[in-house]
């Protein structure tokens, strides 16, 4: 036991192995190690033998509550020769229901590190006076030996609680800062949120740059919604999508004698000049003059905030005299660059879930997840079309899926695995079959938590054939086994 306690770095697994070893050696019906969590004030079962995970999860006590709580509170052992005769016995786990407990003994010993009681070691054993005395002695020695390790487990649990609380508070803070229209928790998006919140309260013109499909208009709307003009209109003029005569009317109004255009449409809200780089040259001069007159004369009445966006290389347009430098510098009071999706790939799962939810509603489907190979394909793709391309990709998957899962073969051809996209036509069938086989293997292993024999049965294979295919595809089975799986296999 001493060698085991000092050899392992996984404290939880080590204590589970110790409890199991002691239980088998003494012939215990069941055993449980509880640890006092000082942060929550609860005594929680952390390792067990002879009871299910569900029953163990019910093993929660307050100091002074029942026999376990009493032992932790006082630091004194309690031995109950016959459980049925002691009213303090709670059976909180429910593991003894339906059993004859008239000849069942219960041992509960404090686990102490120095003068501090950090938990309790408890056991059920068939009543026999000689056996009971021996079990109490062995468990007393064991509780002393595992005290320091249990103390480490207690400290780890408290550190984990603090980490989770810190993460929760951070998420809440980020949620408060994150605009509702934008999705992502990556560092690139956190920086974007900070810029949005910084500039939202001012009237300075904002110039938003970014590749197509990155969400420039959503960013502009986020600035509007985060600022004092949120109750006013948000108007958009598509500078590169409309004929010049319509653009003239959109920007300046149709009747020179009446205020119109950008002033009338946006009021005191915000006006987005979308794809300003595509604005015809003649209108660039007129827009520059209108902005200049407004600023110089302090035009009374409604004055919208100006936000411009583009996916073009503005410096190149200026250098080639296709865009007025003066207009660019007047519009570019505060620059915001929206990051491309390839620079924030950690946001892909979150974005994918969002689009699945959207298109589930639209298509009346019930897609619940994306397969592991499909996720791998999404994460390895370079996304030239950015978030818009991802949205179309997920929409396609939702439409094509018939089993509640988006598989890799539901994705567009450009997102298929590297072996498919880089193989010549003569090898495409073999590659496609290999990719499908790989996905089926991964899905079966994932569904069966890494159990090779169960996954093999699902696929109609022998365990030997399953092992050969796992080796062929170089699949790491360990990544599908839950962290507690090693300890569970011991039992």
Burial class (CB in 10 A: 0-12, 13-18, 19+), 120: buried
| DSSP 8-state class, residue 414 | G
Question: What are the backbone dihedrals phi and psi of residue 143, each rounded to the nearest 5 degrees, phi first?
Answer: -65, -35
Which candidate, 354, 381, 380, 383, places its Cα nearest to that of 367?
Answer: 354
| pLDDT for res 419 | 35
Q: Please list the residue range(s) of the chain that carry CATH number 3.30.450.40.
A: 2-158
Q: Please list the residue range(s) of the chain that carry CATH number 3.40.50.300.
A: 187-339
* Mean predicted confidence (pLDDT) in 34-62: 84
Determine contact, residues 152/160, Cβ cutoff 8 Å: no
| pLDDT for res 228 | 93
| DSSP 8-state class, residue 357 | H
| pLDDT for res 309 | 96
At residue 14 the predicted structure's pLDDT band, cuts being 50, 70 and 90, is: confident
CATH architecture, range 343-416: Orthogonal Bundle (1.10)
pLDDT for residue 260 is more than 70: no
pLDDT for residue 449 is more than 90: no
pLDDT for residue 253 is more than 50: yes
Q: Which helix (H) or strand (E) holds 45?
A: strand 42-49
User: Position of tokens 């653009």?
Assistant: 247
Long-range Cβ pairs for the range 110-116 (8 Å, 24+): 110/71, 110/72, 110/74, 110/75, 110/76, 110/77, 110/143, 111/33, 111/143, 111/146, 111/147, 111/150, 112/75, 112/143, 112/144, 112/147, 113/147, 113/148, 113/150, 113/151, 116/151
| pLDDT for res 250 | 81
Taking CA atoms, 362 is separated from 356, 357, 385, 407, in Å, by 10, 9, 22, 20
DSSP one-letter string for 244-291: HHHHHHHHH-S-TTS--THHHHHTTSEEEEETGGGS-HHHHHHHHHHH
CATH topology of domain 2-158: Beta-Lactamase (3.30.450)
* Mean predicted confidence (pLDDT) in 88-96: 75
> 250-264 b/e with 16+ CB inside 10 Å = b?
bbbbeeeeeebbbbe
Task: Give the chain's mean pLDDT.
Answer: 83
Determine contact, residues 257/287, Cβ cutoff 8 Å: no
Which candidate, 425, 484, 419, places its Cα nearest to that of 450?
Answer: 484
Chain centroid to Cα 333, Å, comes to 36
Q: In what order do the strands lie in the sheet with 206-209?
A: 234-238, 270-274, 305-310, 206-209, 334-337
191-245 per-position pLDDT tens digit: 999 999 999 999 999 999 999 999 999 999 999 999 999 999 999 999 988 888 8
Determine contact, residues 452/489, Cβ cutoff 8 Å: no
Tokens for 171, please give them.
Answer: 């998420």
Question: Class assignment of domain 187-339?
Answer: alpha beta
Chain centroid to Cα 110, Å, comes to 39
pLDDT for residue 361 is more than 90: yes
Top mean-pLDDT range of 249-258, 368-377, 391-400, 413-422: 391-400
State if pTM tops 0.75: no
At residue 430 the predicted structure's pLDDT band, cuts being 50, 70 and 90, is: low
Least confident of 10-14, 84-88, 244-248: 10-14
Determine contact, residues 334/206, Cβ cutoff 8 Å: yes
Q: Helix, strand or coil for residue 91? A: coil
* Mean predicted confidence (pLDDT) in 164-182: 66
Determine contact, residues 380/348, Cβ cutoff 8 Å: no
Chain centroid to Cα 95, Å, comes to 35
């Amino acid at each position: 036991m001493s060698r085991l306690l000092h050899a392992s770095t996984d404290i939880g697994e080590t204590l589970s192995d110790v409890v199991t070893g002691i239980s088998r050696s003494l012939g215990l019906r069941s055993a449980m190690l509880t640890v006092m969590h000082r942060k929550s004030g609860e005594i929680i079962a952390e390792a067990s033998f002879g009871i299910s995970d569900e029953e163990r999860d019910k093993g929660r006590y307050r100091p002074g509550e029942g026999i376990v709580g009493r032992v932790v509170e006082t630091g004194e052992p309690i031995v109950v020769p016959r459980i049925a005769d002691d009213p303090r016995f709670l059976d909180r786990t429910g593991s003894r229901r339906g059993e004859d407990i008239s000849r069942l003994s219960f041992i509960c010993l404090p686990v102490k590190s120095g003068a501090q009681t950090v938990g309790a070691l408890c056991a059920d054993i068939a009543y026999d006076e000689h056996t009971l005395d021996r079990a109490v002695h062995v468990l007393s020695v064991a509780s002393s030996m595992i005290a320091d390790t249990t103390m480490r487990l207690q400290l780890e649990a408290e550190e984990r609680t603090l980490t989770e609380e810190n993460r929760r508070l951070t998420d809440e803070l980020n949620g408060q800062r994150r605009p509702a229209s934008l999705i992502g928790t990556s560092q690139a998006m956190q920086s974007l949120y900070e810029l949005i919140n910084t500039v939202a309260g001012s009237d300075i013109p904002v110039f938003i740059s970014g590749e197509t499909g990155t969400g420039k208009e959503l960013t502009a709307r986020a600035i509007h919604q985060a600022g004092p003009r949120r109750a006013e209109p948000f108007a958009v003029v598509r500078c590169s999508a409309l004929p010049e005569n319509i653009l003239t009317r959109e920007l300046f109004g149709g009747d020179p004698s009446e205020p119109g255009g950008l002033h009338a449409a946006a009021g005191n809200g915000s006006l987005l000049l979308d794809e300003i780089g595509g604005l015809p040259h003649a209108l660039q001069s007129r827009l520059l003059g209108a902005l200049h007159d407004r600023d110089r004369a302090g035009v009374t009445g409604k004055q919208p905030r100006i936000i411009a966006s583009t996916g073009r290389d503005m410096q190149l347009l200026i250098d080639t005299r296709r865009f007025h430098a003066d207009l660019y510098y007047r519009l570019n009071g505060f620059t915001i660059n929206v990051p491309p999706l390839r620079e924030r790939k950690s946001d892909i799962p979150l974005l994918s879930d969002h689009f699945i939810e959207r298109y589930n509603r639209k298509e009346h489907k019930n897609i619940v997840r994306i397969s592991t190979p499909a996720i791998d394909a999404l994460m390895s793709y370079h996304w030239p079309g950015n978030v818009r391309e991802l949205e179309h990709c997920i929409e396609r998957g939702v439409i094509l899926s018939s089993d509640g899962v988006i598989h890799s073969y539901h994705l567009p051809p450009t997102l298929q695995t590297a072996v498919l996209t880089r193989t010549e036509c003569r090898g495409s069938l073999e590659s496609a079959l290999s990719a499908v086989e790989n996905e089926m293997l991964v899905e079966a292993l994932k569904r069966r938590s890494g159990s090779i024999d169960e996954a093999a049965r699902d696929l109609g294979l022998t365990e030997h054939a399953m092992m050969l295919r796992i080796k062929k595809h170089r699949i790491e089975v360990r990544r599908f086994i839950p962290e507690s799986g090693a300890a569970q296999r011991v039992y």
